[in-house]
A and B are shown apart, each in its own frame.
Chain A
Amino acid sequence: NAGVMQNPRHLVRRRGQEARLRCSPMKGHSHVYWYRQLPEEGLKFMVYLQKENIIDESGMPKERFSAEFPKEGPSILRIQQVVRGDSAAYFCASSGRLEADTQYFGPGTRLTVL
């Protein structure tokens, strides 16, 4: 029973490039959450998606960040024109029900912006 999968595990980008982070939820899970962990900080919620719908994006920066969870394929967190402040660990979690079910986390993608 595969857990939440994220790739790549490590991503290096130069300022101004685009970063694409992928998340495949656990089998049977249809809810995906993205969190960001900045250096020396805790985890902060970014966005909550269901298949083809963004449910809550109140934690997403207003510019350059977007997320999707298409009918087929993984969820994608996209960061355009990356800046050094985007360097962080990005974690995806998935759950099976809407009502406060348990969220299971992937191993994360560590983004470094040069």
Chain B
Amino acid sequence: DQQVKQNSPSLSVQEGRISILNCDYTNSMFDYFLWYKKYPAEGPTFLISISSIKDKNEDGRFTVFLNKSAKHLSLHIVPSQPGDSAVYFCAAKGNSGGSNYKLTFGKGTLLTVNP
């Protein structure tokens, strides 16, 4: 059973416009959420995170929104740049006994930003 879902395998946007990447989760024990970016032939790199006690976290062009009641989070990139073209993974961490450090990842969304 997939606990973290990224239902859009790919997204294409124009340079300068907003990119919105979505992620849904099913496990109510998740209390910390992260986004990772991955370029081809490289390992994933941490982008931004949010705790379940917040509904928004902003870092420069990147903002993550969390809607706990809907079990939904989104990553907004404004303005989008060609260098943002990568696979974006949503990840979640649960605070349940000994599992408060394991990350569960979604399948990823390939973002392409066209010049």
Are A and B physically bound partners? no
Interface residues of B (CB under 8 A from A): none
